[in-house]
Amino acid sequence: MTTVVPTSDEDPALSVFRFVSDLSWADAGPEVAEPQVSRLCLEAEEFIATGKWLELANLIVPSAEVIFSKVSEKEVESIFTIISNLVTKTENPEEAMEIVKVIVPEKPIQPQIEKPAVRLKIWINLYNLLETPDSQFYVYKKALELSVVGKVTEYIIPSFKKIDSFLKDWKIGIPEQRELFLTISNILKDNKSMAKDYFKFLTNYLATFNGEDAHVLEKAKEGAVRAIVEFVKALDIFQCDLLDIPAVGQLEKDAEYSLLYKLLKIFLTQKLDAYLEYYSANSALLKSYGLVHEECVAKMRLLSLVDLSSDGLAQIPYELIKDTLQINDDEVELWVVKAITAKLIVGKMDQLNQVVIVSHHSDRVFSQHQWRTLRTKLVTWRGNIGNVISTIQANRITEDGSQAAQGLVVR
């Protein structure tokens, strides 16, 4: 195994360049290689001495491509760690960005790219060295592209948990956010274990069209269809705000997708009987979108139970649950337990009186009305806390006054 070991007085970048140049010219034979390598190293030395870091990057990076096929992955990472460190040498943000684009080229990534997983690690390492938002976003966007083309998305997926934090740092515009959310949702689309994350990023993508005109909204139709199908299909997603998103709302009167929009509305605002009526007339449509009737019925039963809880009934009779969910007497408690397990309702069963006592339920939609209700509750809660604090402080003042008075009496 060959190892890059810089001498004590030699710049690490020069040692790396000498190493990759030796590899690049190795097949030419020593008589040709040695003078060429010496000439190139002198040029690199001059760039280092004069602080021409962009020129040095342009000299090193093309030569470094050879190492991907000739040394171990660990050594490739070590070499590119030194090369990537060139971005920290310059104090000029524009030059740093140009160096970044030498290491991570702007041109489209080709499917036959060598060792994509190693390159992705190198680019992530480069990202962590960067200080300007535009260069960070550029590298991250290219890393997403590389993960897809190179089929190594498993290395980039963990970073999706930090996207909200990244967005605060990057401060990118709506078009860039739109592209980012769509790319991430496409990566997660076939990952069954991350269905919730897929739906979240797809919804975020659609929300970037808020305020756009009809012509622009047209571009979001495919995403809107995907979001509706995913919500209906997902057996662990029971709440969304798709009805409030214009990109989805445009489907209501769309010749091709109006029936799909109607299905979404049933799942968010109606009960099982409405779904069964819809299914009897549109079973082929559901099948065309890969929706399984039995799974839809199961989800609608849970949503219908939530709906009964939101009807203002503190106590829901077993009989009403049986009729609404269209189940047998001995299945009522089973479905109540399922709803509690899914955290759709909080309550208990009174078997003696054959009722379910509900203390809390989830909302099927979370629109502006729900936000206003939540805000009112928070304001009330804050006021109550304030009153408690004021009472405690008043009591403390009274106690302190009494103690002081007692002290005066003693003296």
**Angle CA(127)–CA(160)–CA(123) in degrees, nearest 5?**
25
Give the whole-angstrom CA distance, residue 148 versus residue 341. Answer: 36
Which amino acid, 235? L
Q: What is the pLDDT of residue 172?
A: 96
Q: Per-residue b/e over 118-132, b at no fewer than 16 CB within 10 Å?
A: bbbbbbeebbebbee
Q: Which regions of the chain are under pLDDT 70? A: 1-9, 312, 366-381, 383, 386, 394, 397-411
Tokens coding 342: 């899914």
Give the whole-angstrom CA distance, residue 400 versus residue 394. Answer: 10
Tokens coding 354: 């054959």
- Decide if 105 contacts 146 (C-beta within 8 A): no
Tell me, what DSSP letter sits at residue 250? Answer: G
Residues 316-353: tens digit of each pLDDT = 999 999 999 999 999 999 999 999 999 999 999 999 99
Residues 10-50: tens digit of each pLDDT = 789 999 988 888 888 877 777 777 888 888 999 999 999 99
Residue 240 phi, psi dihedral angles, 5° rounding:
-165, 170
CA-closest candidate to residue 65, choices 90, 93, 28, 102? 102
DSSP for 187-241 reads: HHTT-GGGHHHHHHHHHHHHHTTTT--HHHHGGGHHHHHHHHHHHHH-TT---B-
Q: What is the pLDDT of residue 378?
A: 60
Sheet containing strand 355-361, edge to edge, reads 315-317, 355-361, 345-350
Q: What is the pLDDT of residue 9?
A: 66
- Decide if 130 contacts 93 (C-beta within 8 A): no
What predicted TM-score, i.e. pTM, was given to this entire model? Answer: 0.82
Q: What is the pLDDT of residue 379?
A: 62
Q: What is the pLDDT of residue 344?
A: 94
Q: What is the pLDDT of residue 403?
A: 56
Which amino acid, 296? C
- Decide if 274 contacts 307 (C-beta within 8 A): no
